[in-house]
Structure 1
Amino acid sequence: MAREQFPDGPRDELRPPSGRQRTARHALVVGPEVEVEEVESLALSRFPGARWLVAPDATASGVLRLSRHTHLAGPYAPGGPLRGEDRARVYDVACPRERGDAPHPEQSDRDGLARTFPDGLPVREEDRVVQWLVAAARRLHGSVVVDVDDVQRVLTPDPAARIDLTVYSDVWLAPEAALAVVRDVDRRATWAPGGVPWAGPPANSIVATLPHVPQLDDEVREFVHQRAEDADIEALTSDEAPTGYAIHLDLHDDGLIAIEIGGEEALPTSLRGLPWADGGAVAYRVRWYPVDDDLEEERPPLAHRVARGRATPRLGALTAALHRAVGGEIVDEADFLVAHEDL
């Protein structure tokens, strides 16, 4: 589909009627290499009932119904704050305008939404749509133009900011087998329970300073410890298979990669329809935990980005090894499917 053939905006007859509900108009902006089928695939990952009301072709844009009240039209040529982006493709999204309370000054703002919607964050359907637009823009290396009280603001999420991955499969790896798979990638991997024994909360923590928390006497403390020890012994000597376990890979200054394995019944929409996923699956979650507290920052400092950049290929290699061992599907943090060869 040639870029010069795209219209300058969605045709009036393709715009859904607004009725009494006030409508917000947002836009997804992507590069010329992004095909319509990629946008459709990401939409189906979040809106399983999405379908084309008007299919796009080489001469006209189309309309994709995401839900009862939300429609996506495009692609077409950019305008407004993006006019002059000659090679961009734009998808216009119309959804109900639904705003809630203003963001709390101390809340995390990893995607920049609190900064973008200072007077009231999107809720309900508009929240679903905006969250999907940001995730799709990150995946497609694009931007989102959001409608904030008739003012257009541009969000360009960092594609490298969210690196966690999950393998879903119908194959359960015994703990020893999973550790062997992980150690084929990095011999430093170990069981999660290792490390320095927990010494209790710090002296200045909330629990330690609340006046109404009673002090345990020696008899009660001994009883609690004995019950905990009995539970540990029962778990270690039982013939029942574990329902979950974890493996850690310490990257030192670059943080920690945790592989958390367990069964899950609530699966991503992107796995809907797969026969082996009916009723649930085994999830192999591969997560990165930095040494700093900047994971939820929209623009983390350089040291955080460097550590994340070094951890990303190792996390991808671990995910690929697990996927080779158990099969199934890989999804990213937005629950979008990821191809094995893209790791």
Structure 2
Amino acid sequence: MTASVPPTPVEESRARHRLQLPRDTAPRDVLAMVRNVRPGATEREDGTIELGDDMLLEPDHSPRGAGRWTVEAPRERELPLPEGMTDSHGYGRAFPEGMPFGLEREALDLAWSLGRRLYGAVVTDSGVRLEPHPFQVRDLTVVSPHALAPESLAQLIAPVEADAELDEAPEGVARTGYSLTIPLPEGEEISLRVGLGTRPVALSALDWAEDAAHYELVHLTADPEEDALEVPSNEVAERWQHAYQRIGRLAGLLLESVGGYIVDLEGFLVDPADLL
């Protein structure tokens, strides 16, 4: 019987988690999405993506490896998630002995986000499968060189959201932007907030984006703790999808009117065609 070889100290100091995407996912699409949030990422000749800070995203070149990637980073763990606390990514379930943090957390978050956007999953190095819900992140922002006046925006969206109302600013408070509220069923709302914002990394090459108008579309749930659900019930998932479809319709309408780009809450560009 052959004895197993214990891992070397170098192997133990590295975390390797698997990203499983649909088999027909093009590597160039993965690289493009990675560069939305890590513009300095580079591609080696073998297709490995260097993320920076000693983090890698390696494609599986085996005969059955289509769509499979391995994200590698220095292993860094902290205390476990407190008992009874939930998290939307499922890390508490996957890492009961200690949560990833630092560079490992950054790499794992990127893999989770790629799984969310590209309809995939993450399998941790401990064998736990994490399946991001496609509507876990519903907020979108239209970043545009053109700012609409409050009344103009209200008129623009009235045909598709007749119940939208401009929010009144508290008297005596300096106003740097404005907002509208759109009621949803079950006591939920979409808040459309207009003002200046931080330029997304994905738009760092555009000079006008430094002082661009940000049209933030935010889904406000009746129960804020709902956002921490890893696996929503069918009823919650339907509400998430409904809210995202409404937000997507508004984002598309804004883009047609004022131009610019759509980014999601995690900084990834969103193709308007994907919002239909």
Choose from 41, 51, 76 the match for 2:32. Answer: 41
Residue of structure 2 equivalent to 1:163: 138
Equivalent residue number for residue 295 of structure 1 = 227
- Percent identity among equivalent residues? 30
Letter of the structure 2 residue corresponding to residue 138 of structure 1: R
Say if 1:105 and 1:283 are closer, same or farther in 2 by CA, change over 3 A.
farther
Which of 72, 89, 106 is residue 57 of structure 2 equivalent to? 72
Give 1:280 deviation, angstroms.
Answer: 3.8
Q: Report if aligned partners of 1:99, 1:121 keep a CA contact under 8 Å in 2.
A: yes
SS in 2 for 1:317: helix
* Residues 193 and 215, structure 2, Cα contact 8 Å, conserved in 1: yes
Cα deviation, residue 26, structure 1: 1.1
Residues 91 and 313 (structure 1 numbering): CA distance in 2 closer, same or farther, change over 3 Å? same
Contact 1:24 / 1:95 at 8 angstroms: preserved in 2? yes
SS at the partner of 1:181? helix
One-letter amino acid of the counterpart of residue 290, structure 1: T
The alpha carbon displacement at 1:106 in A equals 4.4
Q: Is the 8 A contact 2:115 2:132 kept in 1?
A: yes
Q: Tell me what 2:191 maps to.
A: 258
Question: Structure 2 stretches of 5 or more lacking a match?
Answer: 1-8
Structure 1 residue aligned with 2:77: 99
| Residues 1:30 and 2:21 aligned together | yes
Aligned to 2:217: 286
> C-alpha deviations, 1:169-194, integer Å up to 9, x for none?
12111111111122132111002349
* 1:201-237 Cα distance to aligned partner (Å, 9 max, x none): xxxxxxxxxxxxxxxxxxxxxxxxxxx86x25xx5xx
Q: In the alignment, which residue of structure 2 is the partner of 1:275? A: 207
Q: Are 1:182 and 2:157 an aligned pair?
A: yes
The 5 Å alignment of 1:226-265 reads 231=172, 242-253=175-186, 255-264=188-197
Q: Is the 8 A contact 1:30 1:89 kept in 2?
A: yes
Residue type of the alignment partner of 2:222: V
What displacement does 1:89 show? Answer: 1.9
Local SS of the residue matching 1:294: helix
- Following superposition, the deviation at residue 87 of structure 1 comes to 7.7
What is the CA distance between 1:24 and its match in structure 2? 0.6
Are residue 331 (structure 1) and residue 263 (structure 2) matched? yes
Contact 1:257 1:289 in 2 (8 A): yes
Mapping for residues 122-161 of structure 1, pairs under 5 Å:
122-147=100-125, 151-161=126-136
Output the CA distance in 2 between the equivalents of 1:176 and 1:107: 43
TM-score by length of 2: 0.88
Return closer, same or farther for 1:125/1:243 CA change in 2, 3 Å cut-off.
same
Q: 1:254 to 1:320 in 2, by over 3 A?
A: farther
**1:7-61 Cα deviation digits (max 9, x unpaired):** xxxxxxxxxxx9598111112111122100111012112222111122x4xxxxx
How much has 1:254 moved relative to structure 2?
Answer: 6.4
1:140–1:77: structure 2 CA closer, same or farther, 3 Å change rule?
Answer: farther
CA contact (8 A) 2:71 2:108 kept: no
State the distance in 2 between where 1:108 and 1:116 align.
12
CA-based RMSD of the aligned residues comes to 2.4
**In structure 2, what residue type is equivalent to 1:285?**
E
Counterpart amino acid of 1:296? A
Q: CA deviation at 1:131?
A: 0.6
State the SS of the aligned residue for 1:137: helix
C-alpha separation in 2, matches of 1:246 and 1:312: 18
Q: CA deviation at 1:325?
A: 1.6
Name the structure 2 match of 1:13.
none
Contact 2:177 2:195 in 1 (8 A): yes
Q: What secondary structure, in the 3-state scheme, does the structure 1 residue paired with 2:78 have? A: coil
SS in 2 for 1:168: strand
Deviation at 1:136, TM superposition (A): 0.3
Q: Rg: which structure is higher? A: 1
Q: Distance in 2 between matches of 1:168 and 1:106?
A: 38
Q: Partners of 1:90 and 1:129 in 2: how far apart?
A: 15
Unaligned runs of 5+ in 1: 1-17, 57-61, 79-85, 195-227, 236-241
Deviation at 1:275, TM superposition (A): 2.6
* Alpha-carbon displacement from aligned partner over 1:248-290 (angstroms, at most 9, x marks no partner): 11013262111111101x322111112322x342211111122
The residue type paired with residue 328 of structure 1 is: G
Distance 2:110 2:160 in 1: 33
- In 2, the alpha carbon distance for the partners of 1:113 and 1:283 equals 32
